[in-house]
Amino acid sequence: MIFRLLLAIFFVGLVVYLFRRLVKSFNKSEPQKKIDQFDDTVSCEICGLRLPKQDAIEKDGQHYCSKEHAEQ
């Protein structure tokens, strides 16, 4: 009797484990683009924040971190 109970608990645990693993594999989305530490970075002329060059706002040859800083 105890053997059957332990066997049933084992199979229920196995089903739960496999189900979670299956759901986890379906929920994997595309990984976000990682910023390479060697990408070109620039500093904001107002606050000095370092950010990737492609994310910076360029105005009159200067780089800014936000529209607000670019308009100052």
Domain for residue 47, yes or no?
A: yes
Domain for residue 69, yes or no?
A: yes
Q: Over its length of 72 residues, how does the chain's per-residue pLDDT go in tens digits?
A: 899 999 999 999 999 999 998 888 777 665 666 666 667 889 999 998 999 888 899 988 899 999 899 988
- Judgement on whether residues 1 and 23 belong to the same structural domain of the protein: yes
Q: What single-letter DSSP state applies at residue 39?
A: S
- Judgement on whether residues 24 and 44 belong to the same structural domain of the protein: no
Cβ atoms of 23 and 15 closer than 8 Å: no
- Amino acid found at 53: K
Q: What is the pLDDT of residue 26?
A: 76
Residues 6+ apart with CB under 8 A from 67: 57
- Judgement on whether residues 49 and 72 belong to the same structural domain of the protein: yes
Q: Which residue has the tokens 């990737």?
A: 52
Domain for residue 44, yes or no?
A: yes
Q: For residues 32 and 26, what is the distance between their CA atoms, to the nearest angstrom?
A: 17
Q: What is the pLDDT of residue 8?
A: 95
Domain for residue 35, yes or no?
A: no
Q: How many domains does the chain have?
A: 2
Question: Is 0.75 surpassed by the pTM of this model?
Answer: no
Domain that holds residue 52: 40-72
